[in-house]
Structures are given as structure tokens and as C-alpha cells.
Amino acid sequence: MKILTLVRQVPDAEARVKISGGQVDLEGATLVMDGMDEYGVEEALRLREGGAAVEEIVALATGPKRVEDALRTALAMGVDRAIHVETDQALDPIALSRVVAQVAQAEGVSLILVGGQEADWDSQALGAATAERLGWPQLTWTNELALEGDTLTGRHDVDDGNESFRVPLPAVVTTQQGLNEPRYPTLPNIMKAKKKELRKDTLDAYGAAPTVRVVGSDIQTRARLNKMIDGKDPQAAAAELLDLLRNEAKVIA
């Protein structure tokens, strides 16, 4: 069986992004593989290393040329080959799922690993949209996976606890923090990754186009309120602080 893992490139959590012309401008920002996708890549590798009959692990990314870097990281971690659908258009999850579903069918994969949430746009729709297009079952927010023959078992979080599941492949699985601890690519694997296939496709080939367009963006500005609590009476000051945190800032219950 083959596994497809989706890779997105996002600004590093500490990157300072700018807005120019109403769009987020990533020039100069450090870009990395989305952490959620790293869990996916790592899990695919672990399933194979755990003895499952995984023939091939393929990484897929869409986006501009620079996205290659994230794919190279996946290759260096141990993925066998990569497909880059090169485009300068930003694809929303619904549009992106069209590409993912077609690649999955063309490649004959039976398991798709997708980040549970996008670090940049926060969307959680990609897994669901892909599963819907393919008519496959979807397992979300997984914490644990095991593969035996064509049966995937695992655990995932629900609101007040977790559930264990069993599903026959094919299936779409979304990841979350805690699924595993992604490895560092080793130096020899970084060098080997250079020789692995990184196929380039055009977006036209998939007939996908953005369904949503970002027409403007703003960066949140923060201003201090400079609220001072009179500290003469410590008891009263503590009570007032608690009240403010509870009822105004709403940061404690």
C-alpha cells in the first residue's frame, strides 16, 4: 500500500509577517513545514518502520517554488518521493482537496495523512473535504495509529475524552500535536534526499482554482490599557485583580 502525506509551508511561529497591498507578505520570513504536517510525515515513516507493508510514502505540496524546501525536508526525513503542484495562487482547503483527491487516485494510495489544522489559516477543513471527495472515511485529531494489513486502528480525541477506532483502508487521517515526536532529518538523509524524485506538476492539470479569495488583511494591533490597581490595601487589590481577570479579561474562570 501507499501513503500520501500532505505538506504545507507556513511561516515559523515566531516569524513577523507584514501586510503589503492587503495581502500577507512573507518576504524575509522564515518558512517551515507546518508542524501538523510534520506529525503526518513522521507517522507515515513510523507505520512503515513498525512493520506495516508500506510500499511507498509520497509527499504532496502545492504552492510557489519555495515550497520545495518543505518537500525537501520531508524527503530528508525519509519520504520516498515528492510531488509539487507549482502555483502562485493560494488555494483554500476546498480547492486544495481537489488536487489531493486526484493525486491520491492517480497514485493509488490507500491512506492520506493531513495536518489537523493549518498553522497559518487555522482551517481544519482539508481532511474532511478530501474524504468527502473520495467518499472515504475520515479519522480526525488522532493521537495513536497502528496498521495491520489493510486495517488501521488508533485513538482520537473527542470533547471529553478519547475514542478508539478501527477502519478498513482507504481512509483519510488528520493529525494533532502529541501523535508523535517528529525526527530530525539526519545529515546522510539530507544528502540522499537530493537524489530523490521531486516531480513538478502544474495546477492546470488538476482543474483546481481557489474558491475563496482573501481581499484584505490586517495585523492585530495591541495597546496597553494602563489600568493601575491601588495597592494600599493588598486584600482589596487582590480581589480587584481577580475580578478584572475574571470578568473583564476573561482569562480565568
Partner 1 sequence: MPQYKAPLRDIKFLMHELLQAPQVLAEVPFYQQNDTADADLLNQVLEEAARFVETELVPLNRVGDEEGCTRHDDGSVSTPTGFKEAYKKYREAGWTALDADPAYGGQGMPHLVSNVLVEMMTSANVAWSMYPGLSHGAYSALHAVGSEDLKTLYLPKLVSGEWTGTMCLTEPHAGTDLGMIRTKAVNNGDGTYAITGTKIFISAGEHDLAENIVHLVLARLEGSPQGTKGISLFLVPKFVPNPDGSLGERNTVVCGSIEHKMGIHGNATAVLNFDGAKGYLVGEVNKGMNHMFIMMNAARLGTGLQGLGLGEVAYQNALAYAKDRLQMRHEPRVNPAEPADPILVHPDVRRMLLTGKAYTEAGRALAMWLALSIDIEHHHPDAAKRQEAADLVALLTPVAKAFMTDNGFTTAVLSQQVLGGHGYIREWGLEQFVRDARIGQIYEGTNGIQALDLLGRKVLMDGGKKLQKLAGTLQEFVEENEGDEDLAPYLDQLGKAAGQLGSLTMVIGQKAMAGPEGADEVNAAAVDYLRYFGHVVYGYLWARMAKIAHEKIQAGQDRDGFYLGKVQTARFYFAKLFPETKMLAATIKAGNEPLAVDDRAVFGMERALVGA
For binding to partner 1 (CB under 8 A), which residues are involved? 14, 18, 25, 27-28, 30, 32, 69, 72-73, 76, 184-188, 190-191, 193-194, 223-224, 226
Angle at 183 between CA 63 and CA 44, to 5 degrees: 65
Nearer to partner 1 among residue 28 and residue 234 (C-beta) = 28
First to last CA, the chain: 49
Taking the complex as a whole, how short is the minimal distance between the CB of residue 222 and partner 1, in angstroms?
A: 11
Structural Rg of the chain based on CA atoms:
22
Nearer to partner 1 among residue 8 and residue 98 (C-beta) = 8
Taking the complex as a whole, how short is the minimal distance between the CB of residue 227 and partner 1, in angstroms?
A: 12
Taking the complex as a whole, how short is the minimal distance between the CB of residue 160 and partner 1, in angstroms?
A: 32
Amino acid at residue number 253: A
Taking the complex as a whole, how short is the minimal distance between the CB of residue 13 and partner 1, in angstroms?
A: 11
Taking the complex as a whole, how short is the minimal distance between the CB of residue 50 and partner 1, in angstroms?
A: 19
Phi, psi torsion values for 127, nearest 5 degrees: -60, -50
Nearer to partner 1 among residue 18 and residue 200 (C-beta) = 18
C-alpha dist (Å) from residue 244 to 158, 212, 227, 236, 251: 32, 39, 10, 12, 9
In contact, 8 and 61? CB cutoff 8 Å: yes
Taking the complex as a whole, how short is the minimal distance between the CB of residue 203 and partner 1, in angstroms?
A: 23
How far apart CA 42 and CA 34 sit, in angstroms, is 12
How far apart CA 213 and CA 222 sit, in angstroms, is 27
Nearer to partner 1 among residue 28 and residue 161 (C-beta) = 28
Query: 3-class secondary structure for 15-66?
Result: CCCEEECCEEECCCCCEEECHHHHHHHHHHHHHHHCCCCCCEEEEEEEECHH
Nearer to partner 1 among residue 72 and residue 156 (C-beta) = 72
Nearer to partner 1 among residue 83 and residue 112 (C-beta) = 83
